[in-house]
Structures are given as C-alpha cells and as structure tokens.
C-alpha cells in the first residue's frame, strides 16, 4: 500500500493485532519501503489516540503496545475501499481484443523502437523474398514491402513489379499466420500492396520450398509456439545460403517492476515467465537455439523497454488481470497483490523488460 499519510500507515500495521512503537515502524518499513522518523511516528500515534482510533494497552517498561479500536478499523476500511477505487480507475479490467492489443504495442514508443531495430537488422533489399512468420494483423508487412519492392503499391497482380526503367524486381513479402482471423485482417490491411501475400499456415510446417526465401522474421511469435527448435529448423530449411533471419522475442524473466515489496514483484515476474507465456524466457535462449539449428549469430541486440507511466505499462502488461491470475495460481496472496497494485496505482512508476533482437544467418556454401 502506498500512502503519504503516517496515520493511515500506522493503522494498517495494527490491523492484525497490537504492536509497540518499534514493531510498528518495522512493519511500516516492510509495507512502504522506509521507516517513519521518531517524531512522525509518535506524532501519528498521539493524534490517532486523541481521535479514539487507537488505544494503549498495559505494557512492560517503555514497550507500551497499541491496539486499533473499532472506530479505527472502520476508518481503515473506508481508506482501503477508496484506494481500491483508485486502482480500479487506473488498471484495465477487461482485456483488449487481440488485434487491438497488437496495434497498441506497435504504436507505443517501446514497440516502434524495437521494430525499427528489427527492420534495420533484417537488411531486406529490393528483389528479396521476405517472410514474416506469425505476422498477426499485418503490422510489419508494409515496411517489408517498402524494403523489397519500393513503391510497391504499383506492382502487378502476381507480385512482380516492373521498376521504372531498371528491369524486373520480383520483391515479395509473404505473411504467415496460423490464425484465420489474423490472416484476414492482414489481407485487408495490405490489400493495396501487391507484393504482399498472406498464407494461413503453421510455422512448424512452412508451405515453402527449400532455399526459397532471402529473409525471414518472427516478431514475438516464437514465444507462443509449441516447439521453437522445430520452427528454427523449418526457417533454416526455407532460407537460402546467405539468407538472414531476425528474431525479436522478449525475455519475460527480465521484467522488473519497481516496488518496495520486491518479493511480490519477483513473484509477479515469475508467474508471467512460468505460466502466462509458453516460452517465457525464449529471448535469452535464441542465440543458442539458432546456433544449434545451423545458423551463425552475428548479432544479439537487447532492446529494453522502460515504462514510466503506470497506464502505458498496464496497456501492455495487463497488471491487474495478470495479478489476479497470479493469485489464483498461488504465486501471490490476495493481500500482497492488492497492496502491490495500490502502490503501483498511486506512486511514481517504473517497469522494464528486455526484448532480444537476434540476427541469425545461413552460412554461404563455399565451392
């Protein structure tokens, strides 16, 4: 729980039973991350006692325990309800639909930043055949089309474009997605881009000939597949020698959320990495898996997304919904989760997560 109010903090610490001054301050430190100065602590206690919200008990020597009164408990409950309303206002409780969510990621600063790193790393050139595996609603197909077939809106129906005076330029982009809904959306969004084709397919079994593509990318798609090793072998099969694959996948174990209660932040991250995302730590594993699949790995580019605003972070991370699932799965207690969210809702905010952009190349054949 976050509050600047020393009296509310004192009331919180007394909710589970009487404590004396030193123990109250230790509990406050556990709750808020810092102790109250002696003046604030005893000032708060005196004011609470004068209002009848706490009462002293008999004690030994100077250690005089203090207990919350029924009136104090009523005030605390009122305060807790009002803080719950704050977090209700801050966090989304209904998940956005998947396409809207992907659009949101792509439009945000973090999304634009890593997607640019991926596009640059892909080095797609006019004439290339480029695959976007797990293309979703077609988020990146326009930029790929622009790279492999500049001015691509004016191409011929079979995707082969006559460059003005420079001869044929058969640049092609093929978006692949397992979801009919995503593929339909991608088709609609790229209707004016003739070099772009969309296929509904599972990337564990790509419907392409060996060595038929120059470039391939996966953008946060491998984290969801059943078998990333098999997918990498498939991509290796369809890329030509000298071809290049760019993978952009988060490492959810790197998610850090600043909070005085670090254990709850760690438990939240563990839940996301273990239970929310199928391959939650894939980011760090990609270089090893790509090498094992027969690629070289000329570059590993970590991109750290930093969120300084709780609402922008919630739009991507779904903090409240995920926390509720973590409680149901036994990763967090209900109280710890509520306190954690209340603090995040009202204080300065910082969260960060690393996405690895991994460049994998198919070796050229010599001789």
Ligand X SMILES: C[S@@+](CC[C@H](N)C(=O)[O-])C[C@H]1O[C@@H](n2cnc3c(N)ncnc32)[C@H](O)[C@@H]1O
Does 135 interact with ligand X (rule: CB under 6 A)?
A: yes
Residue pair 163/115 in contact by the 8 Å Cβ criterion: no
Interacting residue with ligand X among 139, 264, 269, 322 (CB under 6 A): 139
Select 189 or 338, whichever has its Cβ closest to ligand X: 189
Asked if residue 270 binds ligand X (CB under 6 A), the reply is no
CB of 134 to ligand X, least distance (A): 3
Which C-beta is closer to ligand X: that of 80 or that of 221?
221
DSSP label of 64: -
Q: Which stretch binds ligand X (CB under 6 A): 171-179, 318-326, 327-335, 357-365?
A: 171-179
Size of the site for ligand X (CB under 6 A): 19
Is there a contact between 339 and 33 (Cβ–Cβ < 8 Å)? no
Among 2-10, 116-124, 131-139, 259-267, the segment contacting ligand X (CB under 6 A): 131-139
Query: Within a 10 A sphere around the Cβ of 201, how many other Cβ atoms?
Result: 16
Q: Which stretch binds ligand X (CB under 6 A): 78-86, 201-209, 286-294, 322-330?
A: 201-209
Strand partners, 64: none
Span interacting with ligand X, options 176-184, 278-286, 301-309, 321-329, rule CB under 6 A: 176-184
Contact positions with ligand X (CB under 6 A) in 44-103: 102
Distance CA 352, CA 254 (A): 8
Q: How far is the CB of 354 from ligand X (least distance, A)?
A: 17
Buried-state track 153-189, b at ≥16 Cβ within 10 A, e below 16: eebeeebebeeeeeeebbbbbbbbbbbeebbebbbeb
**Of the listed pieces 1-9, 197-205, 236-244, 308-316, which binds ligand X according to CB under 6 A?**
197-205
Q: Does 136 bind ligand X (CB under 6 A)?
A: yes
Q: What 3-state DSSP class applies to 294?
A: coil
Span from 25-33, 51-59, 64-72, 135-143 in contact with ligand X (CB under 6 A) = 135-143
Q: Which of 24, 147, 182, 239 binds ligand X (CB under 6 A)?
A: 182
- What residue number has its CB nearest to ligand X? 136
- Residue 364's Cβ-count burial label (10 Å; 0-12, 13-18, 19+) is exposed
Specify whether the CB–CB gap between 134 and 183 falls below 8 A.
no
Q: How many CB atoms lie within 10 A of CB 97?
A: 10
Residue 179 as a binder of ligand X (CB under 6 A): the answer is: yes
Residue 192 burial (C-beta neighbours within 10 Å; 0-12, 13-18, 19+): exposed
Q: If you count them, how many residues does the chain have?
A: 367
Whole-number minimum distance, CB 220 to ligand X, in Å?
A: 4
Site for ligand X in 210-229 (CB under 6 A): 219-221, 224-225
Concatenated DSSP letters of 67-113: EE-HHHHHHHHHHHHHHHHHHHHHS--SPPPHHHHHHHHHHSHHHHH
CA distance 357 to 355: 7
DSSP 8-state code for residue 157: T
Binds ligand X (CB under 6 A): choice among 53, 174, 203, 213: 203
Q: How far is CA 254 from the centre of its chain?
A: 10
Q: Hey, what are 205's tokens? A: 């079994």
Given the complex with ligand X, which of 136 and 280 has the nearer CB atom? 136
178 counts as binding ligand X under rule CB under 6 A: yes
For residue 139, the minimal CB distance to ligand X (Å) is 4
Q: Quick check: 204 binds ligand X (CB under 6 A)?
A: yes
For residues 163 and 202, which CB has a smaller minimum distance to ligand X in the complex? 202
Instruction: Provide the binding-site residues for ligand X, judged by CB under 6 A.
Output: 102, 106, 134-136, 139, 176-179, 182, 202-204, 219-221, 224-225
């Amino acid at each position: 729980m976050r509050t600047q109010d020393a009296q509310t903090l004192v009331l919180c610490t007394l909710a589970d039973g009487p404590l004396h001054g030193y123990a109250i301050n230790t509990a406050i430190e556990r709750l808020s991350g810092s102790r109250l100065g002696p003046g604030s602590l005893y000032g708060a206690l005196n004011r609470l006692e004068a209002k009848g919200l706490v009462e002293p008990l008999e004690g030994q020597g100077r250690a005089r325990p203090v207990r919350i009164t029924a009136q104090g408990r009523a005030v605390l409950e009122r305060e807790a309800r009002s803080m719950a309303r704050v977090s209700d206002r801050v966090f989304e409780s209904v998940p956005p639909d998947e396409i809207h969510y992907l659009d949101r990621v792509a439009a945000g600063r973090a999304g634009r930043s890593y997607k640019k790193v991926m596009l640059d790393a892909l080095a797609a050139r006019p004439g290339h055949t480029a695959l976007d595996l797990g293309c979703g609603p077609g988020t990146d197909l326009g930029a790929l089309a622009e790279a492999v077939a500049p001015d691509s809106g004016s191409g011929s129906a079979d995707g082969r474009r006559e460059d003005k005076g420079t001869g044929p330029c058969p640049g092609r982009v093929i978006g692949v997605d397992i979801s009919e809904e995503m593929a339909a959306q991608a088709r609609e969004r790229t209707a004016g881009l003739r070099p772009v084709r969309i296929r509904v397919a599972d990337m564990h079994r790509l419907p392409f000939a060996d060595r038929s593509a120059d470039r391939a990318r996966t953008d946060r798609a491998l984290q969801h597949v059943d078998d990333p090793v098999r997918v990498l072998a498939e991509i290796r099969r369809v890329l030509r020698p000298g071809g290049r694959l760019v993978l952009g996948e988060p490492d959810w174990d790197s998610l850090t959320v600043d909070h005085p209660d670090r254990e709850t932040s760690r438990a939240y991250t563990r839940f996301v990495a273990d239970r929310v995302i199928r391959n939650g730590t894939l980011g760090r594993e990609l270089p090893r898996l790509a090498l094992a699949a027969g690629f070289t790995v000329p570059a590993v580019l970590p991109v750290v997304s930093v969120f300084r605003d709780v609402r922008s972070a919630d739009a991507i991370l779904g903090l409240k919904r995920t926390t509720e699932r973590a409680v149901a799965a036994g990763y967090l207690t209900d109280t710890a989760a509520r306190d954690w969210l209340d603090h995040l809702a009202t204080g300065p905010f910082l969260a960060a997560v690393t996405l690895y952009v991994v460049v994998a190349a198919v070796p050229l054949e010599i001789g």
